[in-house]
Amino acid sequence: MKTLAHIAEELQGYDPQALSAQAVGDFLSRLVVPVSEVETLDMFAALGRVLSEDVISPVSVPPHDNSAMDGYAFDGAQLGIEPLKIKVVGTALAGKAWQGQVGSGECVRIMTGAIMPAGLDTVLPQEFAQVDGEHMTVPAGVVKPGDNRRLAGEDVMAGQAALQKGELLRPAALGLMASLGIPKVNVLRRLKVAYFSTGDEILSLGDAPREGAVYDSNRYTVFGLLTRLGCEVMDLGVVKDQPDLLKAAFERGAREADAIITSGGVSVGEADHTKNMMRELGDVAFWRIAMRPGRPMAVGRIGQSVLFGLPGNPVAVMVTFLAFVRPALLQMMGARQRDLPLLKARSTEAIRKKPGRTEYQRGTVSTVNGQLQVCTTGNQGSGVLSSMVQGNGLMVLHHHQGNVAVGDEVDVMMFEGMI
């Protein structure tokens, strides 16, 4: 397991007091290690879990050539004859093979999903068929040979890897495995994450208000973010700026969890107890990231647990989690990294931006005349948590990017799929 010093040596230009957002991601990808323990689960319990091995299909899907729609199946080689008039000699239903035989100049009425009778490769949709008694006429130019036929194994072939190790199991993946007749699946164990807020000024819900104090929102947003990610969460509450309490919280998290997330206590000028305890118990680095909001962050290890010390302001907590902690936790879960794409949207307003830092501005994306556009939610202060509710994404203004003019395209990280 690499120390923080070894990781820092691998990163060209590493400066903990002026890290770019890209450098943060590179560092964390070297710091974290995937879990390895495996569980076997029923399909209904596997949603959101990560495959521990490739899923090899025991069958082909579909198992036979079949019809993609209701219509009439015939030999497409006859299509050169116009008009093509052929005799209907039976009906093929889904769920069982049609037992008859089809000769030249004949066809079978067929239902969606029914096995294609031998020698037939084309289906004319029923709405185009011209039926007169026992005969059906195929209009010219409506179909080509092979149309409207699903080939055996065109979805998945027997012996093929239907899903790869590291796949994060979403609803479609569960359906795919069920279509293969697989009742159970091997997955990596759930990642366990402990979290707590620090600060004497923090109130828990139910506490009486007092001057200078604020109610803790960070534990609830972090709980939601971790739960949506599929982690097992361990809430250690609000921990006061007292060394013995902080030590107990960190030691419990290190003993019972794979990762520890704190909020507050890592900024310059804040009480030193949290930072001192991090240094005393683990291998920890304190960063100043070239970003807004966010900037201060602590990372490292306490025991075998990875530590993410986030800033205290509510929006900064969410932004640093989405930008840095979420990808790192996915890597710890063993998930293959498939980053959600940034969308391009045109800004409806001018935005001042200095090159040399990455800014994550809360925005609202909408579609106007078929094009995506985005506007900010207004006040971008790191304590304005309501903006994360009002917006539906983060405008990502990159490190070297300058001012944004009205109509300029900007990248947007959508909340859907992340939060």
Tell me the pLDDT of the chain (419 aa) as tens digits: 889 999 999 999 899 999 999 999 999 999 999 999 999 999 999 999 999 999 999 999 999 999 999 999 999 999 987 789 999 999 999 998 999 999 989 999 999 999 999 999 999 999 999 999 999 999 999 999 999 999 999 999 999 999 999 999 999 999 999 999 999 999 999 999 999 999 888 998 999 999 989 999 999 999 999 999 999 999 999 999 899 999 999 999 999 999 999 999 887 665 678 999 999 999 999 999 999 999 999 999 999 999 999 999 999 999 999 999 999 999 999 998 776 789 999 999 999 999 999 999 999 999 999 999 999 999 999 999 999 999 999 999 999 999 999 999 999 999 987 77
Residue 418's pLDDT is 77
* CATH topology for the 343-414 domain: Beta-clip (2.40.340)
Residue 200's pLDDT is 87
Residue 265's pLDDT is 84
Residue 82's pLDDT is 78
Distances (CA, A) of 111 to 63, 90, 126, 144, 222: 16, 12, 10, 19, 51
Domain 66-150 has CATH 3.30.450.20: no
Would you call 188 exposed, middle or buried from its count of C-beta atoms within 10 A (0-12, 13-18, 19+)?
buried
Find the angle CA(262)-CA(264)-CA(265) to the nearest 5 degrees: 105
Residue 270's pLDDT is 59
* Distance from C-alpha of 163 to C-alpha of 85, rounded to nearest angstrom: 45
Residue 271's pLDDT is 60
pTM of the model: 0.91
CATH number of 43-61+155-188: 3.90.105.10
Residue 80's pLDDT is 85
Q: Whose structure tokens read 């107990």?
A: 248
CATH number of 4-37+190-332: 3.40.980.10
Residues 85/136, Cβ–Cβ less than 8 Å: yes
Residue spans of the domains in the chain: they are 4-37+190-332, 43-61+155-188, 66-150, 343-414
Q: Do domains 4-37+190-332 and 343-414 have the same CATH topology?
A: no
